Amino acid sequence: MFNCPHTGVALAALTKLRERGVIAPSDRTVVVSTAHGLKFAQSKVAYHAGEIPGFNATHSNPPVPVRRPNPGAGFALWACRVACKVGACKMY
């Protein structure tokens, strides 16, 4: 899901209410999301890059810098190198 921070808060509240038994397993619930995560893209980048002062991003996925291929390089080779940078292959 690529939801906005406000929806994240609502989903967390839903989870806590379910865990406490306030919302029963048989209850139907709706969480209304009125914004898209793209509206808050810089906040998500800052979270994953660990750039929010005083905040411990315990579930971050730090960015992996990669070089763009030169114009003559094939995309498949570039994609393979990107996969290797994140440990998804063993070719390089």
Reported as a single tens digit per residue, the pLDDT across 39-74 is 778 888 888 888 989 988 888 888 777 776 666 555
| Residue 35 or 59, more confident | 59
**How does the average pLDDT of the chain come out, rounded?**
78
Residue 92 pLDDT > 60: no
Q: Are residues 42 and 85 in the same domain?
A: no
Q: What angle do CA 10, 4, 61 make, to 5 degrees?
A: 105
Instruction: Indicate the number of domains in the chain.
Output: 2
Q: Can you give the pLDDT at residue 38?
A: 77
Contact of 92 with 84, CB cutoff 8 Å:
yes
Q: Are residues 72 and 57 in the same domain?
A: no
Residue 17 pLDDT > 70: yes
- Written as one letter, the residue type at 6 is H
Residue 63: closest CA among 84, 46, 80: 46
Contact of 69 with 50, CB cutoff 8 Å:
no
| Residue 28 or 41, more confident | 28
**Domain limits for position 88:** 64-92
